[in-house]
Amino acid sequence: MPPRKGSPAELLLKKVEAAYRNVNSYEDEGFIKRVISDEKSETVLKKSSFKNLFSRPNRFYSEERWIGEDGTEVVIAMWFDGKGFFHFWDTGEKHFFELAGPGRGGISNQTYIMLTNPTDNMSL
């Protein structure tokens, strides 16, 4: 649902849009806190960090990191290099999946490339 016309939310969105409309690149990062209630009504607080990078005309990188239940760091990243969309999920094995294309279902076209860092092929 869009914000109400003239509301503080709409004014904030317009300021953000104006600020980013003509920039050549940007980088932002921060923290996310989620409060999740499960079927037993137990509340769990999940914390993660995120980073976003953008460079005109069409290069974008986004990642999220958190500590998994087993105590290891989990990293999910996705990026568009101007030609293709890529996804990286650190599950202990270093893989990324080249997606079939915009608007298509499924995870990948079965192209797997071994990486040690999802940003190795992504320099802004």
Strand partners, 54: 26, 60
Q: Could you list the beta-strand ranges (E) of the chain.
A: 25-37, 43-55, 59-67, 73-80, 85-90, 95-98, 112-114
Per-residue confidence of the chain (124 residues) as pLDDT tens digits? 677 888 998 898 898 888 888 889 989 899 988 777 777 777 767 889 999 999 888 889 999 998 877 788 888 889 998 888 888 887 554 444 444 444 333 333 333 333 334 444 444 4
Strand partners, 36: 44
* Amino acid 107: pLDDT: 38
Q: What is the token pair recorded at 114? A: 């071994």
pTM over 0.75: no
- Structural domain boundaries, residue 50: 24-114
8 Å CB contact between 50 and 69: no
Confirm whether 71 is domain-assigned: yes
Work out how many domains the chain is built from and give that number: 1
Strand order in the sheet with 73-80: 25-37, 43-55, 59-67, 73-80, 85-90, 95-98, 112-114
* Amino acid 17: pLDDT: 86
* Amino acid 110: pLDDT: 32
Confirm whether 2 is domain-assigned: no
Confirm whether 78 is domain-assigned: yes
Confirm whether 72 is domain-assigned: yes
* Amino acid 6: pLDDT: 85
Confirm whether 10 is domain-assigned: no
